[in-house]
Each structure stands twice: as C-alpha cells, then as structure tokens.
Structure 1
C-alpha cells in the first residue's frame, strides 16, 4: 500500500500511475452530497481526460438529462452554450446529485477543453441510470418523428401499454403480476426498431437506442420493485453496466471511460455483505466482464462533517451534520492513522490488517438520519478487495446545489437512496 498526502492535483500522481493501463476508472463517493468528494473527483477526472485520453464520463444519472449536458459540453447542435442551463433543467428528485456547483464547474471546464479539439476527439458526459421511462419515451418520439416516421408505430404501442399507469409507473409494476398487464413485447419491438438506426447512423441514433434500452430497463425495474429484495437493485446495476459497455463500443476501439457513482455501486460487491444478500454492482460486473487489470475502482470516505441530504424520500434537501464515525469502523481507523486528506493506492504484499479484514464502512445516501449512526449507514467491507485505491477526507463539507425545477418524485431505491 502507498499513502500520498493530498494537497494539490499533482498529488494524484501515484494514483494516475496505478490506473494508466485501465480502460475504465470508476470513482465513487461515500455520500451524494459532499463538496469534498465531488471536488476531488473533478480534479482527478480532469487529469484522466487531459493526460490519459479518457473518452467520456458516465454518471449515476438519467440518460435524457445527461444527454442535454453532453450536447452542451461537446458543442453538439442544439446544445446549450452554458452547461449550467442543462444542469438546472434536471427535474427528477434528488436534483442536487448532479445539479450542483461542483458538477457545473467540471462541465464548464469540459466544454472549454472540448472546444479545442476536433469533433471526434471530444469527451462526452452520459447517464447510466434506469429511471427515466417517460422522458426516454418522449425522446424516442422526437427522434423517430424526424428521422423515421414509419417506426413511430412501435413507440406508440409501447406508450399505449404504459399510458394507463400515468407517471405512477410503480402501479405498472404492481399490475404486471398479471401476465396480461406486461409491456415486454411492445418494448422488444421498440428496441428492435431503434437498434436498426443506431447501427447505421450517428450520435442521435445511438441516443435513441439508449433511450429504448432505458425503457426496457425501467420496465424490468418497476416489475422487480413490487417484490422487494435485491432483484430491483440488480436490474438497475446490470442496466448501468450494460450501458457502460454500449458506450465503450460506441466510442470505438481504444476508448476509455470514467464512471461517477456512489461507493455502493463502484466498490466490488463481492468484498462486502452485499454478496451475501445476492446483490451485484457495476464495479463487480466491470471486473468480471473486462478483467480486473482493465478496471480501477476508487472509493471515498470521511470521518465527520456536513452533507446535503433529505430526512425523508422526496422531501427538500438540507444541510445535515455527519457525526464522527463510530467506534470500530474503517473511518475511525483512518481518522487515527491518516493525514487530513490522503490517497491510498491499495495492493501489494504489505497490506495492513485493517485493509484486508472486514470493517464497517460508512455509506450515506440521499436520505439520511444521523441518529441511525449507532446501528445503520455502514457496509461491512474488505477495503483492499473492494477498491484499487481510496481517497480519504477526514472532514467534509456540504456541496452547493443549483436552483432547479420542482422535483419529480420517484420510488425509493434499494438500499435506500444510493
């Protein structure tokens, strides 16, 4: 193990050396609302793009929302001249995950960096998640209406199948317990039609195909939600892993991707108690599909501070105090051993026991209650198996949300809020 004190972007040099040959670098976060995690992730990502030629950033966000950001940062036709306009249009709760000043700063940098490069050499910004059924359906209508009106019938059939349930798509999940209520056949037809265009055409056709994949993933996800348990989590993470694979293929041979998502998605599930519950995640799936040498997983953690989160699902965000990590946790151990900020490059024969033994590792989602710290909010973790590197921030502060549209509600994720 190598420990490097963090004080400047150049202090990431040992980590950059570690990931130099990776095709995918996944960079996590221990919360969805800490300035320090977002800022350090931004600094690392800038260097990966500028110095190592990474092709895109893919985030734990909806494809249609992120596609507006992508058109802005790549200077595509119809894209906003200011990425902040695209970020402020995020409407699905929790909007602050991506509509915040830290992501805005990165997107402004990315747009300026891309402006100096030919169209084929620009780095993109994409969403991996599965929730945007209606938004993705509308995007397909818009595309097919312009490019291939003859294919609209497949989209209309899928729309009509979901339409009785309105925006409460979870009601579709409940109804789908009866075979006659399922929309699988209509969705398969829609996928087939948009796939034909994606093979032959450019970025707009690929976006339409991905939106059709979101509709298919959402159909599976909402059916799984009504049964509870880990199945819906697995549907979601497999969809995100499949989207990452499609992006790598779309960008072509030699392309390289960066993923931004919560530690619970990024860190290999096999090194946690998630595996005992039958859960997989994108970090595990990427290692299995691409090979461990082609994937670098970077986690985050902190001891105490403040965070943006909500006390209940769907309620307004607020600044909350994150108390000192509990006794016996990984965060308590790192607080005792590490400088205020550090990057740990894991691996090698000299791993300390605390890096290889199971220790509780804090995970804060968009819903947070500090009073649960005594028994919840922690995932038993073998650090050196879960990540290839770990970024430590002893004290963190809350990030800075942008003004956003009134949030659209969404069913709670499993586990809550990550």
Structure 2
C-alpha cells in the first residue's frame, strides 16, 4: 500500500496533469468541485489547454450566465464579446461570477489568500486564509506532501487516509477566518467524493474583471444558519 506522498505528483508544469487526463479518459462530463469560491489557484484551468472538450457547466446567476452562453455560441442577437457580458454582471457577488476562470475536479489549500465578503451582500475583501486546523485534510496533505500536487485517487488498494472521514475546508462567497476553530469545514471522505484532487500549499485570490457595481443587486438569503 502506498502513502499520500507516493500518490502525490508535484505540479510544476502542464505535463504534471497528464495522469488527470488519463483518469478523465473518454468521459463526456467532468464533475467540478472547489474548496474556495474566491481562490484563483483553485480556479485554474487544468483541462483548458489540453485539447480535451468534455461537457461543462458553470455555477452562476441564470440571466447573466445565459447571456454569456448565447455570446459564446454566437446566437443571433447575442453580445459579440463574452467579456462585455462578464463585465456587465450586476448580481452579488459579481467578483465571483465575473472572472474568466474554470474549475475542475477537487481542490484544497493549506493557507493563502482569498476574495470573499464578511457577510451576505458585503463589499469584497482580500482575506488571509490561515493555516488549516490540525487533523484536517489540508493539514494532513501539508504534513505528508508539503507542495502543490495532483493526487489521482486509486480505485483499489490505497492509503487508509483516503477512506477516513476528515474535515475539509470550504470557503464560500461569505468567509469569516475568525471561525476557523469551529466552522468553515465540512466532513469528507476523499476517496468517496473525488476521483482526483489538486492540493495547493499556498493559494492566491481571484482577480475579478470588475469590482462591485453601484447598481448591483443583492439577492435575498434563502435561509439563515
């Protein structure tokens, strides 16, 4: 049985993503997961320059995303430039919807920076993400891998840590670093949740195409926690 260090492939250039493409194989759809809505490192496009063309979907506000979809597909009467549509996004949080990145497979980071709001509808901030708490998935990968890496999770014999429930940090559009000790994490069994996982020791924040707009609409919360 191999350990996490043996499974991890350091990420230094695009060729290091080849095992991910092999796992994708002929799949028509690649499911996407991300640990941070506002992290650029967790939004990097590992398949975008690979020549692969799996089906893709994007989480976003329906009216604005539909305009982008029509523009990309050159529909009659659609905007000529998708970037113009992205720049016109007017529903909070615009800094998340209006970036031009793509996310694929699972992601996690040990520490770094992120863009988020301190509460629903709040102004975007660049926030420091502290070191992951002890015993979490991110802390384990930091201890055993310690660098940016790709893990393609084996279906057979594998390290016990992949089948153990661990805390996995999840940062949404609202993030409160002061709650790290008791919040901001979800229980995860890595091998049951992902086929592959991209780990980053230090994360970088998204760079939005534009910041919040004066006419930005803040949708109401569906529920409170």
Q: Compute the TM-score of the two structures, normalised by the length of structure 1.
A: 0.49
**CA RMSD between the two structures:** 2.0
Q: 1:309: how far off?
A: 0.3
CA contact (8 A) 2:30 2:56 kept: no
For residue 89 of structure 1, report the CA deviation from its aligned partner: 1.5
Determine if contact 1:358/1:380 at 8 Å carries over to the other structure: yes
Are positions 1:311 and 2:118 aligned together?
yes
On the 8 A contact 1:5/1:339 being kept in 2, the answer is no
Query: TM-score, normalising length from structure 2?
Result: 0.89
Which among 183, 201, 220 is matched to residue 411 of structure 1? 220
Instruction: Decide whether aligned partners of structure 1 residues 46 and 76 sit closer, same or farther in structure 2, where only a CA change above 3 A counts.
Output: farther
Q: Which residue of structure 2 aligns with residue 375 of structure 1?
A: 182
1:398 equivalent in structure 2: 205
Report what 1:362 is aligned to: 169
2:9 is equivalent to residue 10 of structure 1: no
Do the aligned partners of 1:28 and 1:299 also contact (CA within 8 Å) in 2?
yes
Name the CA shift for 1:95/1:32 in 2 (closer, same or farther; >3 Å): same
SS state of the match for residue 336, structure 1? helix
Give the length in aligned residue pairs: 218
2:61 corresponds in structure 1 to 62
* Matches of 1:90 and 1:398, distance apart in 2: 19
In structure 1, what is the Cα distance between the partners aligned to 2:73 and 2:9?
Answer: 34
- Output the CA distance in 2 between the equivalents of 1:45 and 1:354: 30
Contact 2:111 2:201 in 1 (8 A): yes
1:251-270 alpha-carbon deviations (Å, 9 max, x no partner)? xxxxxxxxx5xxxxxxxxxx
- Does the 8 Å CA contact 2:114/2:129 hold for their aligned counterparts? yes
- In the TM superposition, residue 77 of structure 1 has moved relative to its aligned partner by 2.3
Higher RCO (CA-CA < 8 Å; seq separation 6+): 2
| Alignment of structure 1 residues 272-311 onto 2, 5 Å | 298-311=105-118
Give the C-alpha shift of residue 413 in structure 1.
5.2
Match of 1:43 among 43, 46, 51: 46
CA offset digits 1:30-76 (Å, max 9, x no partner) = 1110011112xx232442xx23x32x421111232112112222222
Matched, 1:97 2:96: yes
Q: Find the aligned partners of 1:57 and 1:79 in 2 and give their Cα distance.
A: 20
Structure 2 segments unaligned to the other structure (5+ residues): none
The separation in 1 between residues aligned to 2:216 and 2:34, in whole angstroms, is: 23
Shift in CA distance, 21/316, structure 1 to aligned 2, threshold 3 Å: same
Structure 1 residue runs of 4 or more that deviate by more than 6 Å after TM superposition: none
- Give the match's secondary structure for 1:57: coil
Cα distance in 2 for residues equivalent to 1:332 and 1:90: 36
Larger fraction in helix: 1
Unpaired segments of 5 or more residues in structure 1?
Answer: 107-259, 261-296
